[in-house]
Structure 1
Amino acid sequence: MSALSTLLNTYRAASVSEREKGTYFEELICTYLRNEAAYRDLYEQVWSYSCWAKEQGFDGRDTGIDLVAKTKGTGDYHAIQCKLYAENYRVQKKDIDSFFTASGKKPFTHRIIVATTNEWSEHANDALLDQHQTINKIDLQALEDSQIDWSKYQPNQAQVLKEKKQLRDHQRTALNATEAGLKTAERGKLIMACGTGKTFTSLKIAEQLAGRSQRILFLVPSLSLLSQTLTEWTQESAIPLHSFAVCSDSDVGKKRKADDDVVQTFTHELRYPATTEPQRLASEMSKRYDDQHMSVVFSTYHSIDVISRAQKEYGLEQFDLVICDEAHRTTGATFGDDDESNFVKIHDSNYILSARRLYMTATPRIYGDNAKVKAETDNVTLCSMDNEALYGKELYTITFSDAVKRGLLVDYKVLVLAVEETHVNRRLQELFKDSDNQLKVDDAAKIIGCWKALAKQDLTDNLVSDNEPMKRAVAFCQVIEPNHNKKGTHKVSSKNIARMFQSVVESYQASEEIEEASRLICEAQHVDGSMNASEKETKLTWLKADAPEHTCRILSNVRCLSEGVDVPALDAVLFLTPRNSQVDVVQSVGRVMRNAPGKKRGYVVLPVVIPAGVEAHEALNDNQTYKVVWQVLQALRSHDDRFDAMINKLDLIGHDPRKMEVIAITDKVEKKQKRSGGARNKDVGKGEYGIGSKNKYDADGQMTQQDDLTYEVGELERAIYAKVVQKCGNRHHWEDWANDIAKIANTHIDRIQVILENPANTTEKSAFDAFAAELRDDLNDSISNGEIIEMLAQHLITKPVFDSLFEDYSFAQHNPMSQAMQSVLDALQEHHLSKEADTLGRFYESVRQRAEGIENAAGKQKIVVELYDKFFRNAFPRMTERLGIVYTPVEVVDFIIHSVNDVLKNEFGQSLGSDGVHIIDPFTGTGTFITRLLQSGLMTPEQIKKKYKGEIHANELVLLAYYIAAINIEAVYHSLVGGEYVPFEGICLTDTFQMYEKDDLVNELLVQNSARRTKQKKLDIRVIIGNPPYWGCKPEPPKFPSSQLQFGHERV
């Protein structure tokens, strides 16, 4: 029980009479109004009614008014009624009649009712609407949220206030970046993930950028958010505020479509007096203005006309700063003949006068090129957040993944529940027979899926000891009322789900004979936007409260809980149907990522139903059934780069049980299959039947033990993972970068050429010439300066890529060609060649994330080959066109290796692993022959070590292929033998055709490469294995006539 509830219970118990109880409460509310920041600034004085009446010469007898407050500046009188009711008391109209009568007389201009119950009768609620005088309710939650430390409350004494927040590191960085950006710019964007403190950060930005005597406009999409923001700003401000709340008729009381489920807040439900009149706003701001306060107008976007009219018609001054919260709502289309939406009007600098505009959101909404072209064609004005003319530059960003890494948010995990219809039908026969309920198989299956997730039934043994059942969840449905759709198609009803949830769970648990101790009770309630603020607050309070043991509470809705709901201890969000907006999805997921004591992670639960008698692959082709899965996953990957990387790695290493898991709830049982042990989750997509796995993971997701026998995952899970890759993976991941990188590569090439052409750059020219001479000596004389410059540009761009992929191997520091290239570039470095490379930061981070978690060599090899094939070939088309690179299928490579081993055994009595058998791949490409040799199983670990150190050799002519071959071979070797990093010294950058034609004449820069070439030429090489270059004597494309080799006919 809270300190305030304890205090109020003391009043109820200790009071001899209702009058005494009322007096105690009136004193408490008087203290509240004098100390709570918003009211402390608003009111000059607060009296008991009897004291005020005596001063005014009125009769001081009780007429229903308990307190009177006088506003600063304007001198208005507000009548206040204080009611200390039991929490379950239902306020009747007769309880407020006398107050309305007395406060309806002069000099009162506004009313406030303070009540400790949220229960109001229909007639009492109706009495609050459409009053000539404005009215506000202050409820128990508002008192709980006060700055006053109620545990230390003493009447008629100075009150102890709670400590104010301090800026955290990321918030201070955001403040500094915004201040710097808006010094010269009029507009800018602040992107901060849900739960990282946007509202508080924006307050400190306003104090820093504007401060005392300045005027701020803070815009929000709803009155509930207005109330929350006004409370936080007034409580946390270091500079005292003059606060003004503005709303309009369009904010309140209008009937919306039955299932819009938009939060409706009435003006009387605000904790603070609000105005709808532009003249009154301008007048009050003028009267209360002084140079010690910051004047802040809190308004909804719907009320923007009130603000504009106050400026244009009644002389309201220009704002120094406008802050647009939930700025993704200000995007969208306006057709040529239409009036602009209230949300997009804020972009017009003539409509709202302000020196600067700051747009804040966790989920920026950006429209694609197709939408922009169509908008232009159709005479539509499109507001997209990548339009810098409207929104300005991105001043600071903290993404979901950044926030998780910094410990500001907990991570989330996606659970896809695939529930077979037949499985449900067999277990819930009695429930379906009951004519009193409206239960459909589809609803029941989804409820069972949700229960499995909430109870954590059959999940992979948890990764960070997170095995307790969930306690709080929010469910998103399609419609509010059952059978709302007139066409007859079934839609998931929020009210029906809430009503039937526990009945379905009980029936299912009984049919499965689940032990009593393991059962989870699911209490479910429904909430929607048509409920008044008190009802919604009651529902949220119920969700936040501690539930009994083995109980999970679910609050079901359609849309009203997507935004502005703060329940830090929320465990899961359940999507029972697709959402209409990616932003809604991400905002909803943001709810489960908030930190709370003991919370390990949040869960995103996606239940889907498999129709009876349908094969897995056929079921997955039903776009409507699985739309919720693809849509939610797409939304998450668009706003979370880590999740995007995980989706794009599914085909490389399988699913990551820390991020996503598929649960099949079916009657099928797969046969057991023996599986090899290991320290990693190496077997892609394998686990127990359903998803119950005996694998144990530590906090980092490392598998610490593995049973020898586990069930194969069923076909349904495999099919879903494969479909996720197809539907949600970015198959153009690397191609998307290639065009940008190609431009930067050309810039590097041009810059290097310009540096070398300048006669003043003698040092740089000497370094380059020395390198070129050795390169021609090691490769062939026909290499031009242009080709060498291109190699340097390739190195400049690709070195960070390899560092990202193989950061543990220190490849760049050990490889001789990499060292030589770097020495030349170091000589050119004072010309700041890396400036262009700085723009590649996002690409390098993308590579790092793509590689993160891929510990097996096969996965990394696949990425390297993919990079080479899709990225390097596109980014460096000249190289590709010149060399006509061709790959040998791995199956063919394996066949050749085993065939050679068989020939060695049969004809020479030796094997590829025998001592003294030197092996060379003279045209190694990306090293496939050597890596497959190491992985072939034809050599013992000891033989592999010996061969790697001195009896395996490889040559390559193309720099990038050489780099990748060296990395691939080293990565495979270390995956097989472990231990400290050992570079592969058997690889040379050389032209195998040319190297035997002459001795090395120069070896000052490429010392190691020359030494390796010389050593190789002296060896007794027994096995030549590989795939010769097809290009040989092919006619060179006309583009590169000078590079055609003239000696191809000399070789077989």
Structure 2
Amino acid sequence: MLQSGLIPADRLTYKYKNEIHANEIVLLAYYIASINIETVYHDQMKTVNPDLEYAPFEGICLTDTFEMYEKEDLVSKVLIDNSARRKRQKNLDIRVIIGNPPYSAGQESANDNNANVAYPHLDERIRTTYAVNSKATSTKNLMDSYIRAIRWASDRIKDCGVIGFATNAGYIDSNSADGLRKCLADEFSSLYFFHLRGNQRTSGERSRQEGGKIFGGGSRAPIVIAVLVKNPDAKQNGQIYFHDIGDYLSREEKLEKISDLVSIDAITAIDGWTTITPDAHNDWLNQRDDSFGEFICIGNKKEKNSLVLFSNYSLGVGTNRDAWVYQGNKKKLISNIKKTIKFYNINLIESEQPKIDVTQIGWSSSLVSRFEGKRKLEFDPVNIRQSIYRPFQKQNLYFGGGLTHRVGQMPQIFPTAEAENLTICLTLSGTKGFSVLISDLVPDLHLIGDAQCFPLYLYEETSTENKADDLFSHAETNTADGKYTRKDAISDAGLKHFQDAYPTEIISKEDIFYYVYGLLHSEDYRTRYADNLTKELPRIPCVKKAEDFWEFSKAGRDLAHWHLNYETVEPYKAKLDLGGKSLKQLEDKDFYVTKMKFPKKDQKDTVIYNNAITIREIPLEAYDYVVNGKSALEWVMERQGVSTHKDSGIVNDANDWAIETMGDAKYPLNLFLRVITVSLETMNIVRSLPKLDI
């Protein structure tokens, strides 16, 4: 601000002494900031008054800005001058707030021991404004530090003023920030957003388009400069202006553009602002197709009485300690679990607080709560089962037993290791595109992004009172052990919805299940409703013609066949370079894989499997089958290898799964060849789907 030239030289001293304020909570940064401000001021004043005496900057406070407004200064008797500055600042009529607020929605895990501070008053303001106006199921990300900064700053300038923030750009188009966007449009008269891109949570071509990270290695998030204006004399609120910096720019090119533009006026001069009119969903960018709302929703947990296709669904299993509870080798898994249980139970006896030791245990809020409740952990071999961890990669999982952070509705979907079920797992992603994959095993939360899983069946524990009734119920099936009753997950209302659409057809709930799987692979559907699918769960249209319904349903069955049986389908006959040997001459050790790789970045027709084996003549069209932003083949390449968890040192070796579970050292090689087949067959089915005629 001092260097900007906005403050006239004859007003600079007054501003410096009375009207410029800064807060910093980290002591070293506080001193550095203070020295920087003082140095800049005196440099600016040299040209005006060379004989000016040194004047310390008294507008800086050692404080947590948010906490200043929550409670009184706890160290006022120790830092008397600082306390006086805090009180003075709080009482001032502040009209301009500028900054680069930190962004953190919370610690990665309880092991970080760095949870966000709670601010009861500020957080309540967010709940009664941004959260209340949101239609998102989860609004926990609204407690991100930078969103707190926006809420605090808007309240602090009251009805007149300007906020200038450089922050994470997520709130511009994320689903969870719809209520925030509504409030911004209501509270501010003019809103300017200069989007600097740089989202490195994307992949492939999209990542290259996003360009360089504005803060270098400091953040993978996209960045936006926002200037928010409250003008009480404005005739209309919510005038939103947006400017995108452009595709494929390096960090240096972006910074140069920012320096050249200097101000809002310069973007106005080049006619660079796009005016945004929010839609009914409070979307600003990539606005949804409203016709989407006419279709039946696949599921809805917020509006309990709405018409839905699936009566229940679940996120995948979130462990928050994958290294400990997932493993290719069952014996290693048992050893890891027993070690961490032993560490936990000793800690429970010896200490009042969880001991943070990332080599021994992965803490999460649920495990901390268990610890605080003085509840022991006990190993139970029944909790070991197979899981689908990532696309086309199975693992042994220790499920439950106090070591799964969030089980979701999985106990109703896969109550036992023997319970048969299918789930359509899908992800809503603004960065990697919509994705879907079927599973017959417990899916991990991050199977494909944050996986929402829609099952064919739901299981309920069988009670003695209703056993007799079950004998006469055609809609229910008891499991072999008699402990669970199995029901269809597709609702009766959902079945009727489709039966009414095709009154001459005999349609089952299973037919609808596979219709959904087929339809969600439709490139027509994904393209037409791309903006909807980044922000809300799919809605399922009824196609016009019954024959198209059956084509989608059959395609869904065929796709499910390839995606579920990928370990047993015929391997693609790619050329194998075995160093002059034949397959029969190779020993088990020759198939050991540590990391598959391409010989060159763009040479994807060849994969170096290991030192003994190279796969050649891979059809490039096989890479067209993409799951969660990456081709199925590249998922196999990434996951079939050896990885070491950096904190615990736990090694997970895909070759263990090959030998111990599959009984075949060649499994990783054959898996790659089989997934070529799966990919080619998938794309053949997808490209032959009927045109989406609704």
TM category (shorter chain) comes to under 0.3
Instruction: Flag the structure with higher helix content.
Output: 1
Which structure ranks higher in relative contact order (CA pairs < 8 Å, sequence separation ≥ 6)?
2
Q: Could you say which structure has the larger radius of gyration?
A: 1
